[in-house]
Amino acid sequence: MARFLITGSTDGLGRATAETLLDDGHDVVVHARSAPRADAVADLTGRGADLVVVDLADREAVLAAARGLDAGPPIDGVVHNAGVLSGPAVIPVNVVAPYLFTALLGSPTRHVYLSSGMHRGGSARLAGVDWSGTSATNSYSDSKLFVTTLAAAVAARWPGVQANAVDPGWVPTKMGGAGASDDLELGHRTQERLISDPAATSSGGYWFHDRQRDPHPAVLDAGFQDELLRALEDATGVALPVRPPRGR
């Protein structure tokens, strides 16, 4: 069995993913934004899941959490599930935190980044992006275009690592709302398979309900990938390592 980190696992798709992986016998690290929110995963920690509490909008806290996790038991894979829909935290939570966990965790050989069909409406323009979250410079669609590009960039640069983006669909979670029309169960099955199934060997894909789809053209543009990685390195002071993670 393997060990997986699931960000944003107090409710919705993240909790469903964490619960399924725990049911399957894996070791799971669940994530909560704050100590009060951790109460929502008390049943999972009671079954053996480990817990990390960190506000993903707080860059220094993310850096400390990533370094702390990297110093602990090896993590085989990360589902970068946490996300916010609007406001100044959109870029820090949806893009910067996944980048920092990817760059700083040395052991994962599988990464799954939660995308959205809305990424196709994003702007492939990095000028003026506030990576710190001081102001709301970008939309949710922009953030999902960026994180989908991050997945493709990691896959292209780290041949020993499987990195994929998953669109879970418009599902009835707290973010999606009760009127969402897609299947909640299908919304988390693809990321579970990509992160845990030894037979899942794809990398660099954009997935929707277990099928690969074509992403926004900018996602596969090597020039835009390079530009995004440079911007994230400049903003955070953390570079994506040249060589892939060390694995177990």
Active site residue 140: yes
Active site residue 174: no
Q: What is the 3-state secondary structure (H, E, C) of the chain?
A: CCEEEECCCCCHHHHHHHHHHHHCCCEEEEEECCCCHHHHHHHHHCCCCEEEECCCCCHHHHHHHHHHHHCCCCCCEEEECCCCCCCCCHHHHHHHHHHHHHHHCCCCCEEEEECCHHHHHCCCCCCCCCCCCCCCCCCHHHHHHHHHHHHHHHHHHCCCCEEEEEECCCCCCCCCCCCCCCCHHHHHHHHHHHHHCCCCCCCCCEEECCEECCCCHHHHCHHHHHHHHHHHHHHHCCCCCCCCCCCC
Q: Choose the catalytic residue: 113, 144, 174, 206.
A: 144
Q: Choose the catalytic residue: 99, 113, 140, 206.
A: 140
Catalytic residues: 140, 144
